[in-house]
Amino acid sequence: MALTSLLPDFLVTKLDHVASLLRKHSLWPMPFATACCGIELMATASSRYDIARFGAEAMRFSPRQCDLMIVAGRVVMKMVPVMQRIWLQMPEPKWCISMGACASSGGVFDTYAVVQGIDRFIPVDVYVPGCPPRPEQLIRAILDLQDKIQRTGTIDAREFADRSSYEGPTSLAKELSPQETIVAPGDYRTATRLRVPLN
């Protein structure tokens, strides 16, 4: 927002504080529920462990309307471009919770098909361990995220603009040289598989 560069700093920090307060108490999750953690996510949203107490019950399935992506469940190779495209469709400010062991690190599935942690491909803010995590753990993650938003949130999301370096685990993505890998999966920038893949 150009306005924030015109105002004096002490006013901007006050505005940031108010904006973060409002945003953290009305996070709209985008439930990217793939597997079993999705059921615990649904259970967190049901009557017993009501997530509506924290303002997060509006689970809109359209990424354009959400600000929190909860990746619940294992993400396989075929799903990574989909996940990336949904992440890019969400407007700033946006945050990501990686729920469960499979989303955080691959979990029990150290196989040819499951990515070993979505933070290799998407920036993640809060990780929730567990297989599946209990609803209380997910609620704790939302509370932690609320703290994070309060501490670091800005009214025009300018805190994200400079973070252009990769933030995931270091010893990874290219474990094999490009000559050794034998497949070129779809790039999220191209269209679906209905078109000829760009080789």
Partner 1 sequence: MPGYLDILAARFPGAFTTSVFRDNQRVVIPADKAPEVLLPLLRCLKEDCGFDMLAELGGIDYLNYPNATDRYCVVYGLTNLSTGQRVFVKAFTNDPEPELPSVVELWRGANWMEREVFDMYGVKFTGHPDLRRILLPHEFAAHPLRKDYPLRGYGERHNFATVTRAES
Partner 2 sequence: MPVDAIPATDEIAGADQEYLYTLNFGPQHPATHTTLRLILTLDGETVVKAVPDIGFLHSGFEKLGEDLDFNQYVTIVDRMNYISPVANEIAWHHTVEKLLGIELTPRCKYIRTILAELARISDHLLCIGAAALDLGALTAFLYAFNQREAVYNIIETASGQRFHPSFTRVGGLMADVTDEWVELIRKFIREFPKAHADISRLLNRNRIFVDRTKGIGVLSRDDAINLSCSGPIARASGVVRDLRKDEPYLAYGELAGAFKVVCAKGGDCYNRYLVRMGEMLESLNIVQAAVENLPGGPVNVDLNDKLTIPDKTATYRSIEGLIQHFELFMWNRRWETPIEEVYGANETANGELGFYVVADGTGRAWRARTRPPSFIHFAVFPDLIEGHQISDVPAILGSLNIIAAELDR
Instruction: Find which of partner 1, partner 2, none residue 147 binds, CB within 5 to 8 Å per kind.
Output: none
Please, what is the end-to-end C-alpha distance for the chain in angstroms? 40
Give ∠ CA 91-93-97 in degrees, rounded to 5: 100
Name the phi and psi angles at 17, rounded to 5.
-60, -45
What are the residues binding partner 2 (CB under 8 A)? Answer: 32-36, 38-40, 42-43, 46-48, 61, 73-74, 76, 78-79, 82, 86, 108-109, 111-114, 131-132, 134, 192-197
Pairing of strands 29-33, 68-72: parallel
Residues 144-163 that bind partner 1 (CB under 8 A): 160-163
Minimum CB separation of residue 117 from partner 1 in Å reads: 10
Instruction: Find which of partner 2, partner 1, none residue 174 binds, CB within 5 to 8 Å per kind.
Output: partner 1
User: What CA–CA distance (Å, rounded) separates 120 from 105?
Assistant: 9
Q: If we measure between CA atoms, which residue out of 2, 19, 13 comes closest to residue 149?
A: 19
Residues in contact with partner 1, shown as a per-residue x/- string from 61 to 90 under the rule CB under 8 A: ----------------xx-xx--x--xx--
In the chain, the DSSP E strands lie at: 29-33, 68-72, 95-99, 126-128
Instruction: Find which of partner 1, partner 2, none residue 34 binds, CB within 5 to 8 Å per kind.
Output: partner 2
Minimum CB separation of residue 105 from partner 1 in Å reads: 13
Closer residue to partner 1 in complex, CB, 10/112: 112
User: What CA–CA distance (Å, rounded) separates 32 from 11?
Assistant: 37
Q: Which residues bind partner 1 (CB under 8 A)?
A: 77-78, 80-81, 84, 87-88, 91-92, 110-116, 120-123, 160-168, 172-176, 180-189, 193, 197
